[in-house]
Structures are given as C-alpha cells and as structure tokens.
A and B are shown apart, each in its own frame.
Chain A
Amino acid sequence: MSIVALGIIIAIKVVVILAIILGIGAYLTLVERKVAAHIQRRPGPMVVGWHGLLQPLADGIKLLTKEDILPSSANQVLYNLAIIMALVPASLVFAVVPFGPEIHVFGYDVKPILTDVNIGIIMAFAFGSLAVYGVALSGWASNSKYALIGALRKAGIIISYEVVITFAALGPIMLAKSLSTYDIVMAQIHQKVWYIFLQPISFVVFVFALLAETGRVPFDIQEAEAELVTGFTVEYGGMKFGLFPLVEWYVEVLSLSSILTVLYLGGWSPINIPFVGFVDPLFFLGPWSGFIWFIIKVTILFLLVLWLHWTLPRYRIDQITTIAWKVMLPLALFNILITAFIAPLLRG
C-alpha cells in the first residue's frame, strides 16, 4: 500500500470520527429531548424545522454568539485547559472502535478502525480515565462552590467506577485471549457466541459503570440541578458550556456503548444463537450489513440509557461510591473466578 493511499485512508477515517463526534453528537441532543418529551407525554421541540429537526443548528448558533466570560476569580489557563482535557480524550476512544468487518474497496483491504493495535482495550480505558482531569480542573479553576462540589462528586464517581469497569472487562479479555478490539470481535465470531451469554454478571456491572462514568441517571449526582444548578459547568458560558454536556452525555455514552458492543455483543456480527451460529436478516447488504448491525446495537444501548435517564430518581454520592466498592467490585472479582473456570472449556 503506497504512502498516498495510506494517508487518504487515515484522512477518511479521521473525518468519519469527527462527523460522529460533532454531527451525530449534536443531533443526539435532539433525540434526547424528543425521547424525554415523549416519556413525559409532551411533543418536545416542534418550532425550528419539521418536528424540530433543525433545533441542534439553532442551539449551536445561539451558543456560538454568546459573550465570552471569564469568572473574576477563575484561573484562566486551567479554565480553558479543562475543556481540552474533557473533549480530546473522550474523542480519542473512537480511534480503537472497530465499526465493521474488513472490507475491500478500490483494490485495498481496509479495516474500519483508526488504530488497530494489540492494546486497544487498555487504550480505551486509559482515555476514559483521563476524563477525570477535565472535570476536576473545571471545578477547581472556576473557583465557585457549586462547581467545586459538582466536580468532586463527578471525580469520585469516575475513579470508583474506573476500577469496576476494568475488572469487569477482564472477563471477555480472558475468553478472547486478546486486548485488540478487532480480535475480540473476531474471537466471538469464531467461537460462535456473544460474550453476554457467558458473562452476564460482568455485562450488568459494565452497564452500571457506563451509566456512572457518563454521569447518567441514576448516577447523575454531579449535576443534580435541584441542589447544584449544573455542577462543574455552572461558571462556563456559550460554546464552552455546550462542550461539556456534548462530551459527557453524548460522546462518552457513544464511545462506551461501542466498547460494550465490542466486548459483549459481538461487535458487527449479526444475531447470535449461542454455540450454533449467526442469523443475518440483512444478508442482502453483503459485507455492509456488519456496519448496520453495529449501528443498531449502539442505538439500542443509547435508547436504553435515555430510557433509564428519564425514568429513575438519583442516588446520593456516598451511596454511589459505596455501591461501587461493596457490590460491584466483589461481583467483578467473583466473575473473574468463574471465567477462569469456563475459559479453558471454550474452543478456538
């Protein structure tokens, strides 16, 4: 493969990831508002465009034309660095997400994954952990009490569930014998089983940790609008304010849902009958059906997160961290023990 072709392929992949972060991420705000509205039996945004379809654009223009404000007692460098530390690591997780099977286009074999390295899962968790810096810096630099309390709560939740999520992910890694995201999906296809069927405990723990790390209900105590207004974003305005919910509620939910799909739901593989094989109702799409399956799985997970968000009440901060250490961590350790027994029985 020539240097030019390699460059073009990388450029296309980077553009696709940018489109996911900015385009889909922005439009998920509309999806969220529509779903929330219909759960509460009201129509949601209806004015801008047909059924509010242009609402994200209107919101974006509004945020961009607001005044740039620096709170009088804030630290300017850290205040702006917090935004970079929130946005950049969250988007880098997409670099290790395999969106589909290897495809053959214009004479080249292309894997639809930006960085196919043998430590993909570790990189995903490493970038996920870096999110704590954006949160902690924003709360500390704004020098406001509400922001500091919100940032500390969120930081406490992230560092508690970071441990849980990595212990939970050890189960699928033991079964797949690989840390590469692409190879984990291939292992599930070869063994003809989605790991959700072999790792139900670890799956549930992972979903809880996903909700906690992304600040979704029932773990959204860091913003708790009734007591903290919006927590660590309270001193931010305009587009700087817009980026925090975009990253936390949409980019991180999408990236962690993708990692969850890779680990437990077989990535791009079609509907699975455990140990028998795969049934693909979308067979007529050829190799492209994999991409559709991946999108369907991530969409279902996102709608599940929205459903929980607009249905449940929230926990207190000490309850959240206590659940992480007293329930989730022992469950994840127990799961490693079970997996150690069933992993040698699995062929392939």
Chain B
Amino acid sequence: MAYIGLLSLLAVMLGLSVVLISLNWLLGPKKKEPYKTYPYECGVPLYDDTAQTTFHQGYYILGLLLLLFDIEVAYLFPWAVVYNYLGIFGFIEVFLFLLILTFGLVYAWKKEALDWQFDLESL
C-alpha cells in the first residue's frame, strides 16, 4: 500500500518524459538536409564511421571495483540499522568483515588497479 504513491509518480514521470521527447517532433520544423544528421566531429569528414569501439581500460577496472564494493555495502545496511542491539558480538563480526574488505582495497591499491596506468601505455 505504501508504494502506491511511488508507482503513480513513476507512471506520471514516464508519461511526461514521452511527451517531452515527442514535443520537438510535433512543434519543430522538418527540413531535410544531407549534413544535418551528420555526427559532430570538428567540422571535418568522419575519421571512423562508428564511435562504438574500444575505450580506455581504466573504466573497466572501475566497473569491477564497483561490483566488489557496492555489493558489500549492501550487506552493511541491515547491520547498521540494528547495530545498537547487537552488542559486542555485532561489533567484532562486522569489523572482521570490514577488515577483509579493507584488505581487498589495499590489494587493489598495491596492484595499481586504482591508478590509470598511463605509463604502461606510453611504452
């Protein structure tokens, strides 16, 4: 029952965004010109036909780190709520957990996964 408000806001926002997307098609001019839909690139002919190719490895490592840490923070939320009722047991349990987590961070740090390794590229 509590989620009715959220669902109605979701429905309204979905409708509104579809309307906002289509308003330009309804109100704007429609003149066809060959270079109007050309991808933006400094005013010169395209060097590559497509931009959907490889990209810097740094982003991939960020994605891996996100998977590791964001899932672990999800485990910590329930603990944070009931922390005061758990006593010394909850404290020790979670700090063992956080210690392992920090060890993971230190490992990534030592392996230079947190840097972007520009120096390897210039070789």
Contact = CB atoms under 8 A, between A and B. Distances in A.
Interface in A1-41: 6, 10-11, 13-14, 17-18
A160 B66 CA distance: 7
Contact of B28 (A66, A163, A318, A329): A66
Contacts of B21: 80, 83-84, 239-240
A140 interface: yes
Contact of A156 (B40, B41, B59): B59
25 contacts: A10-B4, A18-B12, A65-B29, A67-B31, A72-B39, A91-B13, A114-B6, A142-B39, A145-B48, A149-B55, A152-B55, A152-B56, A152-B59, A159-B66, A163-B66, A163-B70, A174-B84, A177-B81, A178-B81, A238-B28, A318-B118, A321-B58, A322-B115, A329-B105, A343-B84
Contact of A87 (B13, B80, B91): B13
Contact of A170 (B58, B76, B108): B76
B13 A239 contact: no
Interface in A269-304: none
B120 interface: no
Nearest to A18: B12
The majority secondary structure among interface residues of chain B is helix
Contacts of B16: 18, 87
B3 A71 contact: no
Interface in B1-55: 2-6, 8-10, 12-14, 16-18, 20-21, 23-25, 27-31, 36-41, 48-52, 55
B24 A237 contact: yes
Nearest to B85: A177
Contacts of B3: 115, 117
Interface string A103-138: 000000000001111000010000001000000000
A338 interface: no
A114 B9 CA distance: 9
Contact of B81 (A70, A84, A179, A237): A179
A115 B116 CA distance: 41
Given A74-B39, A155-B59, A159-B62, 10 more contacts: A6-B4, A11-B8, A64-B23, A84-B14, A115-B2, A156-B58, A159-B66, A167-B76, A237-B24, A333-B98
Contacts of A178: 81
Given A148-B52, A152-B55, A167 B73 contact: yes
Given A143-B50, A160-B62, A177-B84, A88 B10 contact: yes
Contacts of B52: 140, 143, 148
Given A69-B37, A72-B37, A174-B80, A64 B58 contact: no
A340 interface: yes
Contact of A10 (B8, B66, B77, B108): B8
A21 to B, nearest CB: 8
Q: 6 shortest A-B CB distances, which residue pairs?
A: A318-B116, A238-B24, A68-B24, A114-B5, A159-B66, A68-B25
A259 to B, nearest CB: 15
Contacts of A74: 39
A318 B12 contact: no
Nearest to B83: A174
The majority secondary structure among interface residues of chain A is helix
Interface residues of B, number: 66
A343 B83 contact: yes
A70 B12 CA distance: 26
Nearest to A114: B5
Given A95-B6, A170-B76, A71 B24 contact: no
Contacts of B107: none
A191 interface: no
A234 interface: yes
Contacts of A114: 5-6, 9
A206 to B, nearest CB: 14
A329 B58 CA distance: 18
A146 interface: yes
A70 to B, nearest CB: 6
B66 A239 contact: no
A115 B6 CA distance: 6
A318 B115 contact: yes
A173 interface: yes
